[in-house]
Amino acid sequence: MTLTTAPTHALGTERLLAVRQMLDTAFEGDFSDEDWDHTLGGVHACVEDERGVAAHGSVVMRRVLHDGRSLRVGYVEGVAVRADRRRQGLAGVVMAELERVIDGAYAFGALSASDEGAALYRARGWTLWQGRIEVLSPDGIVRLRDEEDSTYLRPAGGGRLPDPAAPLVFDWRDGDVM
């Protein structure tokens, strides 16, 4: 197996197509074009074996308003492992690389976890955000109550997490905002 860590542009068309196909299969058809768009433009960690892409994740920059400041946040996207390689530690390998990127470039890491994925992130030290989640939408700031029980954060490089007394206001994007 090989681990590749690279920005989107360096992966090339063929590898990106293979990643997209693996994500479509791993998410059983519940990986939209908007989800794919959210996965692009940052740094990817990709594990490949003799059959192709076995595991993937990426971290992209998002802006978050918090307590009067605009913060650069490393947002984790597109984490999945091919069905035949699950429960072999590959998600941990991918996350370790993404966390290394977060530690070197962002105020903190954030992600929205499915029920199935939450245990992985908790085991790696990610904590469920205890405050409000909002988004700066085209119509103004909107609270995202449904995201408040699935948004996890991780301090970068030994730093501190934001104060949950003030909301996290994420930037707008098409598709699922979180």
pLDDT tens digits, 51-100: 999 999 999 999 999 999 999 999 999 999 999 999 999 999 999 999 99
Residues spanned by the domain of 71: 2-170
Write the CATH number for 132: 3.40.630.30
Tell me what pLDDT residue 116 has.
86
Within-domain flag for 36: yes
The reported pLDDT for the residue numbered 157 is 85
Contacting residues for 10 by C-beta, under 8 A, at least 6 apart: none
Could you count the other beta carbons within 10 Å of the beta carbon of residue 42?
21
Are the beta carbons of 20 and 53 closer than 8 angstroms?
no
Q: What is the mean pLDDT of residues 24-37?
A: 95
Cα–Cα nearest to 57, from 120, 123, 115: 120
**What's the confidence (pLDDT) of residue 158?**
78
Beta bridge partners of 55: 47, 81
pLDDT at 68: 95
Assess if residue 178 is contained within a domain: no
Number of domains within the chain? 1
The answer to whether the CB of 13 falls within 8 A of the CB of 70 is no
